[in-house]
Amino acid sequence: MRNHRHLVVAALVFVASVAACQKSPSNGKPAAGSGSSAIADKSVSTGSGSSTGSAAMAPAAPVKPPKDIDSKDILARTETSPVVQVKHVLIGWKDLSGVYGPRMDARAKNRTNDDAAKLAQDVYAKLKANPDLIDQLSKDTSEDPGSASGDPYEVKADGPFDVIFCDLMMPVISGADFYRELAVLAPDMLERLVFMTGGVFSTQTNEFLGSVPNTCIEKPFDIGALLALINDRVR
């Protein structure tokens, strides 16, 4: 069996809000569904609300849109392999202190989200120019102790996954088509599938989401809500 070595830079640069795009009734309340509660609470916590009382709610401070640093060239790959070896570089920033607590790397405590995005792009550019730098970059830059050793972890095409995040709009195959392929190849994995979207919906996409029970979350993500969703699924 031939193994293809894929190098992955994992930069945690999720900001702003998460909202449930799962089907919901017309009153605007999030629909019930597997794993949707962690996101739904976020999605209904803003706005004027309907509670009684005379106190006016202060408008929420505007959220600066995150930088788009998706590795689109990686997502657009058509080459596949039954086994891949993955190495990663984890980069955090100060706003994640509430998530990581005492486990947060000291380098991230004063780093802004913009700084994290710039660092991730710099690491990616170096890897793209010379993939052999992955071990040194992991040692020097990654804030995940598990990646410091340089040992890769293996991902198999037929291996189990706790959670599968799938974009609804992808260059080669749509999220709906992926769902149908998964239903044939690994139907027991369907309940672990979580869809993602940038908020642009077609009638066909809406109809598809209305026909499946899976949760769908909007980008950009809130890291706390995302981790809560993952923790809920892996219990």
- Summarize pLDDT for 128-177 with one digit per residue, the tens: 899 999 999 999 999 988 887 788 888 887 777 889 999 998 877 889 99
* Amino acid identity, position 216: C
Average pLDDT over residues 202-219: 90
Helix or strand run (H / E) with residue 153: strand 153-156
pLDDT one-digit tens code per residue, 3-21: 444 444 443 333 333 333 4
pLDDT in tens, 78-119: 888 889 888 889 898 888 887 778 888 999 999 998 999 999
Coil/strand/helix, residue 147? helix
- State how far the Cα of 213 lies from the Cα of 77, in Å rounded to an integer: 29
Domain positions in the chain are: 4-44+64-234
Q: What are the DSSP calls for 184-222, one per residue?
A: HH-GGGGGGEEEEE-S---HHHHHHHHH----EEESSPP
Would the pTM count as exceeding 0.75? Answer: no
Position 48 scores a pLDDT of: 33
In this structure, the number of other CB atoms found within 10 A of the CB of residue 218 comes to 18
In the block, residue with structure tokens 């916590």: 45
Q: How far apart are CA 104 and CA 94, in angstroms?
A: 9
| Kind plus residue range of the DSSP H or E element containing 84 | strand 83-87
Q: Where does the chain have alpha helices with state H?
A: 37-43, 72-75, 97-100, 113-129, 134-141, 175-185, 203-211, 223-234
Two tokens, residue 128 = 């793209």
- Rounded-to-integer distance, Cα 186 and Cα 160, Å: 10
Cis peptide before 220 (omega within 30 of 0): yes
The identity of residue 47, as a single letter, is G
Using alpha carbons only, how large is the chain's radius of gyration in Å? 19
Would you tell me how many other CB atoms lie within 10 Å of the CB of residue 113? Answer: 20
C-alpha torsion 191→194→231→9, nearest 10: 130
